[in-house]
Chain A
Amino acid sequence: MKNNASASRSARKRATPSDDATLEQWLAEVLDSPSGKRKPIDARAKAIMSMVDRVRDTLVPIQPSPHFVRDLGYRLVETASRGKQSLIQRYRTAIVIGVAAAGSVASVVGVTALLLRQKNRRTMRGV
């Protein structure tokens, strides 16, 4: 029986390749057009359209459990907040060293600028 079934299916496939190409062409033209323009070319096209409607009725959006949504949301936000804290902790030493280095550089630049200014004044008075 199984052999008969598969034979009949392959026979059908062999017999209609050009029909499928026509059908595909027709689908390309009408499927995304407004429903009023969807006039099936034959019974097979009509069957495809009816199948599309059944797929639409079957593949419907569902709602996840509210408990799951709430729980996962809570865990994600907690993980995200912990991640931020650990990031600050991980870079704490680097931040301290960076701030200290920037402070040192600022001091050196400030002292140098002061010395240059004093030197300039002395030069001006000398002139």
Chain B
Amino acid sequence: MSEPDSDLDLVARVKKDPAAFGLLYERYVTKIYNYVYYRTGNHHDAEDLTSRVFYRALMHVDKYTDRGVPFSAWLYRIAHNLVANWHRDHARRPETDLDDAVLVSPGREMPEQAAEANEKREWLLAAIRHLPGERQELLILKFVEQLSNAEIGQIMSRSEGAIKSLYHRTLLALRDELMGIKINDEE
């Protein structure tokens, strides 16, 4: 069995034949969709922004060269910029909760247990969404995309050590955020 083409090989192919962009798209569409979905909190905006990410990538792929930034990191950076613009545009609008899809329990829980589990997830997601953007981004890249600290560093333009440190501070901040929500709920 032959090894799959590397991203760089595919980018080189796209430069000769733009229609080959479909292969890069297939490789990354789910990852980018997940990233955008968890940053925006709803499927509608996730689909819209994912489309824009890939259209922008298609328009600029001929200018992409690997200067220490892998293609995947380049793609995530496009997504990051579009999500940042989206948040700027929506700053005055009330936050939307994550769609039910994520909150539905995958296990075979009883309705009451499922409801309780969903409530806990909702609570945790609300706390995550209260964190600064870069901390949310870090958690999504680490847990949803399951990237290493080094890979996250390439996307966020930071060293591996800086990402590690940011992760630890994020966990402490999340703990404080959860306690804050708990205190507010008890009032």
Residues of A within 8 A of B (CB): 1-2, 5, 8-9, 12-13, 20, 23-24, 27-28, 31-32, 47-48, 51-52, 54-65, 68-69, 72-73, 76-77, 79-81, 83-84
| Residues in chain A near residue B55, CB distance under 8 A | 76, 79
Q: A76-B21, A76-B55 are in contact. Are A59 and B29 (CB under 8 A)?
A: no
Contact with A along B20-31 (1 / 0, CB 8 A): 111001100110
CB neighbors of A among B11-63 (8 A): 14, 17-22, 25-26, 29-30, 33-34, 37-38, 43, 46-47, 50-51, 54-55, 58
Does the CB pair B139–A55 fall under 8 Å?
yes
Count of inter-chain pairs, beta carbons less than 8 A: 122
CB neighbors of A among B154-177 (8 A): 164-165, 167-169, 171-172, 174-176
A-B contact pairs, 6 of them (CB 8 A): A8-B183, A9-B179, A24-B168, A72-B54, A76-B22, A77-B21
Q: A5-B187, A31-B168, A61-B34 are in contact. Are A55 and B22 (CB under 8 A)?
A: no
Does the CB pair A60–B29 fall under 8 Å?
no
Total chain B interface residues with beta-carbon distance under 8 A: 55
Q: Does B73 contact A (CB under 8 A)?
A: no
Contact residue among B29, B145, B176 (Cβ-Cβ distance under 8 Å from A69): B29
Does the CB pair A58–B58 fall under 8 Å?
no
Give the residue name and chain of the A residue nearest to B26 (CB).
A73
| Residues in chain B near residue A63, CB distance under 8 A | 30
Does the CB pair B21–A59 fall under 8 Å?
no
